[in-house]
Structure 1
Amino acid sequence: MGGWTVMSRGESRGKAGVQERLASLTSWDADWSGLRVLVTGIGVSGFAAADTLIELGACVVVIDGSVTERTQAQADTLRIVGALDVLLGPEAVQSLPLIDGELPDLVVTSPGWRPDQAVLAAAARKDIPVWGDVELAWRVRTRRGKKTADWLAVTGTNGKTTTVGMAESMLRAAGLKAVAVGNVGKPVLDAIREPVEYDVFVVELSSFQLHWAESLSPIASVVLNVAEDHVDWHGSYASYLADKAKIYHNTQKAAVYNAEQIETERMVEEADVIEGCRAIGFTTTTPAISMVGVVEGLLVDRAFIAERRDHAAELASIKDLGRTAPRHMVANALAAAALVRAYGVEPVAVREGLRAYLPGDHRIQSVATVDGVEWINDSKATNPHAASASLAAFESVVWIAGGLSKGVTYDELVAGNSKRLKAVVLIGVDSSELAAALARHAANVPVIPVEAGQTGEDRPDGALIMARAVELAAEAAGAGDTVLMAPAAASMDQFASYAQRGEAFVDAVRNLVEGRAQSKE
């Protein structure tokens, strides 16, 4: 660590002085030079934060607990562009590092880092502010006196990525330069630094990102839905809800809520919004005044028209969402429509945006139909709420489920969908909680576990596990059934990500299809 140089700002930096300086950092053009910043995590968000801070002139040190080819390459890049140091390995994340002999002025953390992680807990004890990458992005959004883009903010337990994608498509149909950023994949900091003059960012925000954000003031915001999730990270469901609710704080024009879920309405009622901000509901049934909803197969608006007391404006048809439009997909479309209508987008662009929208992989993705059996990949269903929405779209299901539970329970999920289940194929290193719920609420449904040993390997191999799960599901399914891979759990026990899990399912189904085709030749 010797050799680090930091611009001198006096022999001592009192806490009051540091706090005053941090409070002044509200634009790209503010004085960031010499600010001692520790960045925790060197993944997509952490790398973007570190790279941005270096460009701003801060003194940056980065830490990450993993030592892989990827993290080492990221570390080399950050050192080249000006990071003071990058510390990798388990020992690097056990305590606060000193920067030129002093504690950091600020910690900028990657979203996945829990508040009780050793470094973040130490920062809290030392009264060192902790920001997330989204908080940093909000503060640097103004450059040379001009905002980079307006923000429309989206959170919820499920449906975030679909909703931001739909909103992005609607905005583009209106002729606006819009991009989906945040938890969706592209860090908002990267979008801010792109040589593109965007009009709008549609920002997907996880509960983790919201936990570390305080200053956001979006044009419009929405909590799509809430259900028990990430309790292990937040410590309690109440804390999870409190972090989700932060998205409404300082919303400028429209705080959009799910009229079919009272928790989101209460969040709006309790939010400290900008004066003049309206509460706008969305519902998959007939909308009341100041809502968007559905009437006779049409998506309609009774919120953003002058004659809303006795009229509704047609936005689109449910058929514009594609061949299959389960209820939660309609809800996502309505939420996206409410956001863009708050921004001033005309109804015709809502319709054209929905028609142009292409759903992402791993979200109720139809993979194949073989011998009357439809195979559906919904690997993105990483919690019970998402899996329940998937199950509700089908009548007779062979369900592939299981994985890392994240501290949630499965009784409500199983009890509410037991009549749809023909059989359940269990994956996951430990799916005992799901198995127990099935025993309690679906005792007559066959449960077929895929044991790690069945792969023929000493360690779990995701591709082999999924191939075996698909084989077992094929044996259980018949014409008219749907094989649905909607795990209701995270993937990291057997896969690198939900995307890898989904890809393994798609590959296994395609191999099954090819094998059957060859056997008929």
Structure 2
Amino acid sequence: MGDRMINPEWAGLPVVVAGLGLSGVSAAKVLHDLGAHVTVVDGGTGPALDAKAAALTAQGVTVRLGDGASLPEGTRLIVTSPGWAPDSPLFAAAEQAGVPVWGDVELAWRLRTPHPATGEPAPWLAVTGTNGKTTTVQMLASILTAAGRRTAAVGNVGVSVLDAVLAEEPYDVLAVELSSYQLHWAPSLRVHSGAVLNLAPDHLDWHGSMEAYAADKGRIYQGNQVACVYNLADPATEALVREADVEEGCRAIGFGLDAPAVSNLGVVDGLLVDRAFVPDRDRAAAEIGAVADIHPPAPHNIANALAAAALARAYGVDAKAVRDGLRAFTPDAHRIAHVAEIDGVTYVDDSKATNTHATAASLAAYRPVVWIAGGLAKGATFDELVAGAADRLRAAVLIGQDRQLIRESLARHAPEVPVFEPAPGKTGAEAMTEIVRVAAAAAQKGDTVLLAPACASMDMFTNYGERGDLFAAAVREL
């Protein structure tokens, strides 16, 4: 939005944007263009933030660095970046002053405009869950594109949701990835259809408890119009559907890896089957694709595809477009990506497995495994993960700051598994070269060396992407 398009509702409204990250900068520009008086606050300092602040200041936005706690006088609304925790002092001050707090998703939801062809805003098909969100939303966007719809994967992935709703060429439908953070700050969101893929402990330091985390995930079902899609293998997701207040006629649709019962999607003899969105679902089903259409065909990825298919079918997409969209989809880097096979040993990069739930799914796809694990645990525990995977492990190569937590779980639940720990203190490429060398020495022909760390990466690497790239580079050096 280069030119300001002043909106009378927003003209002169004093709005604070919390955080100078990507979503904060995007929100600040949008609000300024609408005519609001925008102040961006961020507790951080440094050259990178100074540069962002200077760019916004040149456009007429006020920026305050080094102070993210105090509420500017006269503030009528706060728009927060997803990462700001609910117990931040700024929000306590806002509550005391009666100032509402929205996230970027809430702002985008309220700024939607009617599509010229329908007279209604483009519907949102939304996905949340501890793991698999990005893959599922990208699969969904691929299916919608195959059905001839103008769409995009937006939200916590791809295009900013604000940019999407304000696009000059309107979208027909949006595939929206929503994190628990974004859902927490989106009180009026009411989507066409939503899915919770799974629930496992994550970000508990932010939410405060598993119950609060689950409740925020469950917000995706509130006010659903057509379908609440849940995971038959995860009863917690069905419980959230039962608790949701939805529109009259909205249906609960389950997905799973077995033959589907009525109103579910599932798998029969290698085929993806829909018994939910067919005229005579008591006696009939529709073939919507095959396991062979999914890349890679790991169990959790098949589940992701079924969830995407359920949302697309709820929106009215035909079976052929589901199949064509799944065939056309290619997964992101660092998500169970095959790197190489060397001397009969397969090397797989799943650096994106930054929590125990994602890692459990990854470990379930391979046997025997030399498992590279560790990093920043984010408050996680590893007993359940190790106990579930113990019979698959050839060896474990432990890395990073919280490696001892995984070492202790291995000692309790898989004491026979050899544990290797490359010398601590190294970071980046130097560390990864040694990690891969140790893993390769522990592997036997037929094994998979799997980088699925169950932890965040920032203690040794810039992010999970760099960790995966360096793993692939070190493998190729072999």
Q: Same fold (TM over 0.5)?
A: yes
Name which one, 1 or 2, has greater alpha-carbon Rg: 1
AA partner of residue 463 (structure 1):
A
AA partner of residue 223 (structure 2):
N
- CA distance, structure 2, for counterparts of residue 196 and residue 375 of structure 1: 43
Counting only pairs closer than 5 Å after superposition, residues 388-399 of structure 1 correspond to structure 2 as 388-399=360-371
2:269 aligned with 1:291, yes or no?
no
Counting only pairs closer than 5 Å after superposition, residues 413-492 of structure 1 correspond to structure 2 as 413-453=385-425, 455=426, 461-492=427-458
AA partner of residue 217 (structure 2):
K
How high is the sequence identity, in percent, across the aligned residues? 56
1:134 aligns with: 105
2:475 aligns with: 509
Encode CA deviations 1:142-170: one digit per residue, 9 max, x unaligned: 26985552100000000000000100000
490-499 or 346-355, which deviates more: 490-499
Encode CA deviations 1:403-426: one digit per residue, 9 max, x unaligned: 111112111100000111111111
1:75 aligns with: 53
- The 8 Å contact of residues 164 and 203 in structure 1, kept in 2 or not, is answered as yes
Encode CA deviations 1:239-285: one digit per residue, 9 max, x unaligned: 11010000000111111111121111111111011111111111110
- CA distance, structure 1, for counterparts of residue 115 and residue 125 of structure 2: 22
- CA distance, structure 2, for counterparts of residue 267 and residue 329 of structure 1: 22
AA partner of residue 372 (structure 1):
G
Change (3 A) 1:122 1:315: same
| Residue aligned with 2:152, SS | strand
Encode CA deviations 1:294-335: one digit per residue, 9 max, x unaligned: 11110000000111101110000100113x411101100000
AA partner of residue 94 (structure 1):
A
- CA distance, structure 2, for counterparts of residue 147 and residue 80 of structure 1: 36
Report the Cα offset of residue 173 of structure 1. 0.3
2:85 aligns with: 114
- CA distance, structure 2, for counterparts of residue 267 and residue 303 of structure 1: 19
Q: CA RMSD in A?
A: 1.6
2:315 aligns with: 343
AA partner of residue 72 (structure 1):
D
Encode CA deviations 1:7-47: one digit per residue, 9 max, x unaligned: xxxxxxxxxxxxxxxxxxxxx95601111111111111111
Change (3 A) 1:161 1:30: farther
- The 8 Å contact of residues 181 and 191 in structure 1, kept in 2 or not, is answered as yes
- CA distance, structure 1, for counterparts of residue 349 and residue 92 of structure 2: 39
1:317 aligns with: 290
1:65 aligns with: 43
Encode CA deviations 1:202-245: one digit per residue, 9 max, x unaligned: 11000111111111111110000111111111111111101000
2:346 aligned with 1:374, yes or no?
yes
AA partner of residue 439 (structure 1):
A
| Residue aligned with 1:337, SS | helix
Report the Cα offset of residue 125 of structure 1. 3.2
- CA distance, structure 2, for counterparts of residue 44 and residue 82 of structure 1: 18
- The 8 Å contact of residues 375 and 509 in structure 1, kept in 2 or not, is answered as yes
2:126 aligns with: 153
Report the Cα offset of residue 474 of structure 1. 1.2
- CA distance, structure 1, for counterparts of residue 8 and residue 227 of structure 2: 30
Any unmatched runs of 5+ in structure 1?
A: 1-27, 456-460, 513-521
Aligned residues: 471
Change (3 A) 1:464 1:63: farther
1:86 aligns with: 63
AA partner of residue 44 (structure 2):
S
437-446 or 72-81, which deviates more: 72-81
- The 8 Å contact of residues 156 and 225 in structure 1, kept in 2 or not, is answered as yes
AA partner of residue 218 (structure 1):
V
- The 8 Å contact of residues 427 and 465 in structure 1, kept in 2 or not, is answered as no
- The 8 Å contact of residues 403 and 493 in structure 1, kept in 2 or not, is answered as yes
Report the Cα offset of residue 68 of structure 1. 3.8
1:21 aligns with: none
- CA distance, structure 1, for counterparts of residue 264 and residue 13 of structure 2: 46
2:1 aligned with 1:37, yes or no?
no
1:228 aligns with: 201
- The 8 Å contact of residues 78 and 99 in structure 2, kept in 1 or not, is answered as yes
AA partner of residue 273 (structure 2):
V
- The 8 Å contact of residues 152 and 159 in structure 2, kept in 1 or not, is answered as no
- The 8 Å contact of residues 115 and 172 in structure 2, kept in 1 or not, is answered as no
Any unmatched runs of 5+ in structure 2?
A: 1-5
- CA distance, structure 2, for counterparts of residue 258 and residue 378 of structure 1: 22
431-440 or 251-260, which deviates more: 431-440
AA partner of residue 114 (structure 1):
A
2:42 aligned with 1:51, yes or no?
no
State the TM-score, normalized to the length of structure 2: 0.95
- The 8 Å contact of residues 141 and 147 in structure 1, kept in 2 or not, is answered as no
- The 8 Å contact of residues 375 and 483 in structure 1, kept in 2 or not, is answered as yes
AA partner of residue 79 (structure 1):
T
- CA distance, structure 2, for counterparts of residue 30 and residue 476 of structure 1: 67
| Residue aligned with 1:250, SS | coil
Change (3 A) 1:133 1:462: same
